[in-house]
Chain A
Amino acid sequence: DGGITQSPKYLFRKEGQNVTLSCEQNLNHDAMYWYRQDPGQGLRLIYYSQIVNDFQKGDIAEGYSVSREKKESFPLTVTSAQKNPTAFYLCASSIRGSPTDTQYFGPGTRLTVL
């Protein structure tokens, strides 16, 4: 059963702590993306990767880091430098990363900073 898995579904973090969100896909897609979703602001791109060991910053990359060591995995680290980390985080993938490729989204991780 192909798809994108994100874990955990809910995550709580204390201020000052780094936290890593997992994203795995078994669709054999080249491109993967991380978005942040806040009420009334839609989806904003954090980072994207079109190939292993390469990634680019999106519109709101400050305070976040990523790695792409394997094609199927694209973990996102929310660092203590991110001023407002509480949000719903969505991972997505697409076949090649072409601007007309459908993006397939995971179920999301809701991060709450206590």
Chain B
Amino acid sequence: QQQVKQSPQSLIVQKGGISIINCAYENTAFDYFPWYQQFPGKGPALLIAIRPDVSEKKEGRFTISFNKSAKQFSLHIMDSQPGDSATYFCAASKNTGNQFYFGTGTSLTVIP
């Protein structure tokens, strides 16, 4: 059973546009939500992460929005660039556990 549900599966955005990827979870014990970025043929790398005590975290063009009551969080990429074209994974973990639960991934293509 998928612990973290991610959508859309793929996304095409024009250069300069906003890319939005959504994730949802059910387990209220989750309290850490990272996003990873993966380029083809490479391993994922941490992009940005958030704890549920804040509703938003911004790092450069990347913003996580977190809605604790809805058990949803999303990644917004502002001013999307062709170099942002990659697969993005959301994930969740709980402070009593040892592992991340990853979403199924979103393949983002930014068209010049």
Is A40 located at the chain interface by the 8 A CB criterion?
A: yes
Is A90 located at the chain interface by the 8 A CB criterion?
A: yes
A42 near B99 (CB under 8 angstroms)? no
How distant is B53 from chain A, measured CB to nearest CB, in Å?
A: 13
A-B contact count (CB 8 A): 61
Is B6 located at the chain interface by the 8 A CB criterion?
A: yes
Residues 96 to 114 of chain A near chain B (Cβ within 8 Å)? 97, 99-100, 102-108
Q: Do A106 and B102 form a contact, CB below 8 Å, given A42-B89, A99-B95?
A: no
A48 near B104 (CB under 8 angstroms)? no
Is B32 located at the chain interface by the 8 A CB criterion?
A: yes
A99: contacting residue among B42, B94, B103, CB under 8 A: B94
Q: For chain B, give the interface size range.
A: 20 to 34
B95 near A108 (CB under 8 angstroms)? no
Is B62 located at the chain interface by the 8 A CB criterion?
A: no
Complex Cα–Cα for A58 and B100 (A): 10
Complex Cα–Cα for A40 and B8 (A): 11
A103 near B100 (CB under 8 angstroms)? yes
A interface vs B, CB < 8 Å? 4, 31, 33, 35, 40-45, 48, 50, 56, 58, 90, 92, 97, 99-100, 102-108
List 6 interface pairs A-B (beta carbons < 8 Å), by A numbering: A42-B89, A48-B99, A99-B95, A100-B49, A103-B100, A105-B44
B interface vs A, CB < 8 Å? 2, 6, 9, 32, 34, 36, 41-46, 49, 89, 93-100, 102-105
16 further interface pairs, Cβ-Cβ under 8 Å (given A102-B34, A108-B41) = A31-B98, A33-B99, A42-B102, A43-B89, A44-B102, A50-B98, A90-B43, A99-B93, A99-B97, A99-B99, A99-B100, A104-B45, A106-B43, A107-B41, A107-B42, A107-B43
